[in-house]
Amino acid sequence: MNSDKNRVVPRVWLITGCSTGFGRALAEAVLQQGDSLIATARKPEQLGALIDQYPETAKAVRLDVTLSQDIQTAVDTAIATFGRIDVLVNNAGHGLIAALEEVSDGEMHQFFETNFFGALRLMRAVLPVMRQQGSGHIVNLSSTAGLVGFGGSSLYCGAKFALEGASEALDKEVKPFGIKVTLIEPGAFRTDFNGRSLATAKQSIDAYAGVSSASLQWFKEMNGQQPGDPAKAAQAIIQAVDSPHPPMRLALGTDAMSLIQEKLAWVKTDLEAWQQVTVSTDYPEPAKSAK
């Protein structure tokens, strides 16, 4: 045990999207340090090599985060196999490059099902377990785009902004139960986000070519050249989970740091410039009654 009285060693992790990217790097890291893992993916056969290497501490489970039945099966399997869930990592998701006007109703709903509602369902499914334990840590993979809006990424930013708000509120709801919540906000990392995991809308509108097409071209050119190292990101996430006082938000990468600092400065500038208008909308002070 460490200084955190609720810390259990080895811990049991449930990580979504373990086939590639952040999920795979984190899965490998937690197993290397001796923790136990429910590794999930839509195609669990892609996790075969990982499970073969750690047959006693790793178990692969099929999980499509849009399916409530899959989510409950993953949670039940974790309890049946290891008896508890100490860390949930919501990592599964994908990008979408498109201006808002280019996206259909169906594409909007599908995107939020995977990138937002899936995470909510998983959190809701593990919370009874963590409340009963009196401990637990929920780690949600957000993005720099969870705080900073980028043209050509309206849906992606919308889903990540939503995840940020839900996570911040959840942290206040579950703190009395010994449960912690951390948002991870990576910049550009060398995962397949810029490649296989990046989708586009079925419809394109020429008027937005300077936004959507330019954004897509940037992502393609950056693919394989991103400055962030997923293995180092995995260690940073573990460090946050290890901490008795983990951050609510953890930005990863020098690009993330720079972009978030610019956003905070912009918000502060607008707030101060419009302060007089902001405070003018209150009712006037009620008149004091005569004595």
Eight-state DSSP code of residue 115: I
* Rounded CA separation 73/86 (Å): 17
Q: Of 19, 36, 142, 167, which is the active-site residue?
A: 142
SS3 47: helix
SS3 160: helix
* Rounded CA separation 41/59 (Å): 11
Task: Establish whether 156 is a catalytic residue.
Answer: yes
| Ramachandran bin of 139, using left for φ above 0, alpha for ψ from -120 to 50, beta for the remaining angles | beta
Residue with tokens 């985060």: 65
Q: Of 59, 143, 154, 160, which is the active-site residue?
A: 160
Task: Establish whether 283 is a catalytic residue.
Answer: no
Q: Of 54, 59, 156, 212, which is the active-site residue?
A: 156
Task: Establish whether 289 is a catalytic residue.
Answer: no
Identify which of 122, 73, 67 has the alpha carbon closest to the alpha carbon of residue 59: 73
**Could you tell me if 17 and 41 are in contact, meaning their C-beta atoms sit under 8 angstroms apart?**
yes
CA-angle at 88, arms to 242 and 131, nearest 5°: 90
Q: Which residues are annotated as catalytic?
A: 142, 156, 160
